[in-house]
Amino acid sequence: MGAGGLLRKVVSMGGGPASLEQRAESRYRLRVGITQIILGGAILAAWQTYGIRDPLFLSYPTAIFGRLTTWVTDGSLWFHLLFTVEAMVLGFIAGSSTGIFAGFILGRNLFWADVLDVYITSVNSLPKIALAPLLVLWFGIGLLPKVVLAAVIVFFFVFINTYTGVREVDPDLIDMVRLMGAGKSQTVKKVVFPHALTWIFAGLKLAAPYALIGAVMGEIIASNRGIGYLISGSANKFDTAGTFAGLLVLLIICSLMNMIIARLERRWTGWKKAGVEGGGAGVA
């Protein structure tokens, strides 16, 4: 067996630098996770023990989890949660897909980007929550106004990042690909889109919490269903525990959304890291 074959065998058996790096990263993540749990437990314990004594202003963790348990038991949480998640997901999909499409179109067409710049900037500077009463007037208090509000908010985050990613592609790289015989569609597929993916996912991660904000704000303003309705109803009844319980549910939803996007990002852009590592191995 040659030296190269022996080296590959050692690496495959877990003795290579990559394996050592992976184990070190796993230990680091474990240490971070344990520290997060300890810190969270300490905060909850301090809140429970030394929190404000008047529950009208600040409830206690036990009361909050008790209210959450009641909602889970009587089924009200699942009913309202389904409505909020539906509005958030639909708004996120509509806003992100149109934002990516518009970002690519205007990113590849400088003339129309300059023409529409003043209009896009003006609409983007408008506080989106100000649109909520108008959307309720147009579409009523059902699902549609929450979806539209969430989609409008998400659109600008994703559009701006996509547009920037498309414009940041190295022109020399595009020229080189065209000299090799690639057409416009192949250039977009093989060069522009992969380069813009990092920017797109950055926009998606920024937009995910705001999709939830748009859906919940629509529910708070005018709705008879959803987590926003639960929070608004609890606050109107001076139920601080119920208000915090609703906020906790929103926190969990947003965390799960971010985890899904992060996993998709690793799957779609993992080739960049693999390419760098593979290039380093080839040079060695």
Digit-by-digit pLDDT tens for the chain (284 residues) are: 444 454 444 444 445 555 777 788 888 888 888 998 998 888 888 877 776 666 667 777 888 888 888 888 888 888 888 999 999 999 999 999 999 999 888 887 888 888 888 888 888 888 878 888 888 888 877 888 889 999 999 999 999 998 888 887 767 676 677 777 666 666 676 677 777 788 888 888 888 888 998 888 888 887 788 888 888 888 888 888 888 888 999 988 988 888 888 888 787 776 565 444 444 333 33
pLDDT of amino acid 159: 92
Going by the DSSP 8-state scheme, the letter that residue 58 receives in this structure is S
Domains of the chain: 67-269 (1.10.3720.10)
pLDDT of amino acid 182: 65
Helical ranges in 180-222 per DSSP H: 184-187, 193-221
Continuous segment of H or E residues that includes residue 170 = none
Contact 200, 154 (CB under 8 A): no
Rounded CA-CA distance 246/198 in Å is 33
Rounded to 5 degrees, φ, ψ at 182 are -75, 140
Residue type, 147: V
Contact 112, 106 (CB under 8 A): yes
Rounded CA-CA distance 23/30 in Å is 11
- Classify each residue of 26-35 as buried b or exposed e, where b means 16 or more C-beta atoms within 10 Å of its C-beta: eeeeeeeeee
Rounded CA-CA distance 113/162 in Å is 13
